[in-house]
């Protein structure tokens, strides 16, 4: 992997490979195209290395949250980072780039259904855990996480 990283806007389809491999255990029958992917205002970001390898992806779409009722909110979904570079700051790069862009577009809050295994990541970024935990459609423990922009 190269040393220089850059954030790029990508298409929804560009996220599918990493999503399927990392979020669905490479289950080929898994549908990793989410309804939010084509919502008006949806944003898909990737981290590319200097060899143009896609190392991380995340998607953002306008969507309200009851944890900040009445606020202009965006939802993070489908964040995936290559295992060989996890804990290297790529997730933070994606979130920071999205926060800058969403804030400039007038959004006030960013939220996600975060896997319990990733709650430490969100807490290190200053996000708060909101509400009770739940199991998603695949039986994976999650909590809602929220950060004000």
Q: What is the pLDDT of residue 79?
A: 93
Q: What is the pLDDT of residue 3?
A: 64
Q: What is the mean pLDDT of residues 128-147?
A: 92
Instruction: Set out the domains of the chain in order of their start, with CATH numbers.
Output: 6-148 (3.40.630.30)
pTM comes to 0.89
Task: Name the burial class of residue 2, with classes exposed (0-12), middle (13-18) and buried (19+) by CB atoms within 10 angstroms of its CB.
Answer: exposed
Q: What is the DSSP letter of 16?
A: H
**Is the pLDDT at 130 greater than 70, yes or no?**
yes
Instruction: Confirm if 54 and 66 have CB atoms less than 8 A apart.
Output: no
Structure tokens at 115: 């896997």
Average pLDDT value over all residues in the chain = 91
pLDDT, tens digit (0-9, with 9 covering 90-100), for 5-45: 899 999 998 998 888 888 776 566 667 778 899 999 999 99
Q: 130 φ, ψ to 5°?
A: -120, 135
């Amino acid at each position: 992997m190269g040393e220089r990283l850059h954030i790029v806007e990508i298409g929804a389809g560009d996220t599918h490979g990493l999503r399927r491999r990392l979020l669905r255990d490479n289950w080929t029958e898994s549908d990793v195209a989410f309804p939010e992917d084509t919502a008006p205002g949806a944003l898909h970001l990737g981290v590319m290395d200097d060899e143009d390898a896609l190392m991380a992806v995340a998607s953002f779409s306008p969507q309200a949250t009851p944890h900040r009722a009445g606020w202009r909110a965006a939802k993070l979904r489908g964040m995936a980072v290559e295992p060989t570079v996890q804990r290297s700051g790529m997730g933070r790069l994606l979130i920071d780039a999205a926060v800058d862009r969403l804030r400039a577009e007038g959004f006030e809050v960013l939220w996600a259904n975060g896997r319990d295994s990733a709650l430490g990541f969100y807490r290190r970024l200053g996000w708060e855990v909101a509400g009770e935990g739940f199991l998603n459609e695949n039986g994976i423990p999650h909590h809602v996480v929220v950060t004000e922009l």
